[in-house]
Amino acid sequence: MKRLLLSLVILCCASSSGYASSKAGYVWNKLQDGLSYAHLTYAHSSTSRNTTIHAFRVDPKKLRLDIITSSANKTMGESVKAMARRERALVAVNGGFFTPAHKSIGLLVKAGRRINPIHHTSWWSVFGIRNNKASILPPWKARSVRGYRMALQAGPRLVVGGRVPRLKENTPHARTAVGITKNGDVIIVATSGAGITMNEFADVMRKNRFKGGLNCVDAMALDGGSSTQLYAKAGKVDLSFSGFSTVPNSLAVFSK
């Protein structure tokens, strides 16, 4: 009997310890129905500097995602903040790639209308919303934009079916990305502070919340580096930071 009681005590202690160790690495803060915010700290083992990861979780059934483009009279693009404030967006980040003359490169679908053609580069991908459902597809699967309310082409893909593909770029930079969780939520991310490599960034997008990740089954990078910038004004969050470059387009979240 004593042995049985001792075994039960040990089992209970082990279960309690295991539960405590499963605490999530961050908290989602609800800003409004369908929109939450979290910030994560990525600690680099090789340096004392840290990367702050700003993440927004969006329910595409309750909120509208769309493209914002710079004003026609802004030939060299605009800051994300300027675009977002003009269009009254809740959240906005820099979007796809562009030429030195600040002309967008890659597919853009805004409010159901294609405003820029697809770019046939194998490692790029397309994030889109159709019938209130988000998807990330290679360009050859996204040639028809029929039914898409919005679409944005960039890349590379960071997570494909829950796995990180082979990624070449390993120099630390500021990063921007969009991902999709298993239950269909859209995760929009921009970093500040120290740069992070593409592989490190992909790992954060893929890992589950209890390991400090964002739990995306699919994700793709948007334009990064000097273009990375964020604007958010919703609930108790009033946050913005600019990159070193103006941009011609951005990905934004709006109230329906």
Task: Write down the H helix ranges in the chain.
Answer: 2-20, 80-87, 198-206
What whole-number distance in Å separates Cα of residue 25 and Cα of residue 13? 22
How do 148-154 and 108-110 pair as beta strands? Answer: antiparallel
Number of domains in the chain: 1
Average pLDDT over residues 215-231: 97
Q: How much is the pLDDT for 44?
A: 81
Residue 1 lies in a domain: no
What is the reported pTM?
Answer: 0.89
Using pLDDT thresholds of 50, 70 and 90, give the confidence band for residue 86: very high
Q: Which of 240, 248, 127 is nearest to 187 (CA)?
A: 127
Neighbours of 112 (CB within 10 A): 14
Residue 95 has pLDDT above 50, yes or no: yes
> Percent of the chain beyond pLDDT 90?
77
- According to the model, what pLDDT value does residue 74 have? 87
Kindly state whether residue 15 falls inside one of the protein's structural domains. Answer: no
- 84 assigned to some structural domain: yes
Residue 3: pLDDT band with limits 50, 70, 90? very low
The answer to whether the CB of 254 falls within 8 A of the CB of 58 is no
Residue 18 lies in a domain: no
pLDDT at 19: 33
CA atoms of 224 and 169, how far apart (whole Å): 12
Given this model, what pLDDT does residue 24 score? 65
Query: What integer pLDDT is reported at residue 23 of this predicted model?
Result: 61
Residue 111 CA: distances (Å) to CA of 63, 68, 74, 130: 14, 10, 21, 11
In a domain, residue 212? The reply is yes
| C-alpha span between 225 and 242 (Å, rounded) | 11
pLDDT level of residue 9 (50, 70, 90 thresholds): very low
Nearest of 5, 63, 4, 7 to residue 30 by alpha carbon: 63
DSSP assignments along 137-155, one per residue: E-GGG-S--TTEEEEEEE-
* Domain limits for position 112: 28-255
Does residue 132 belong to any structural domain of this protein?
yes
Residue 227 forms part of a structural domain: yes
Model pLDDT for residues 169-214, shown as the tens digit of each residue: 789 999 999 999 999 999 999 999 999 999 999 999 999 999 989 9
**pLDDT tens-place string over residues 12-63:** 443 333 333 356 679 999 999 999 999 999 988 766 789 999 999 999 999 9
pLDDT in tens, 113-169: 999 999 989 899 999 999 999 999 998 888 778 899 999 999 999 999 999 999 987
Instruction: Output the pLDDT for position 142.
Output: 80
β-bridge pairing 91-94 and 230-234? antiparallel
Would 32 be classed as within a structural domain?
A: yes
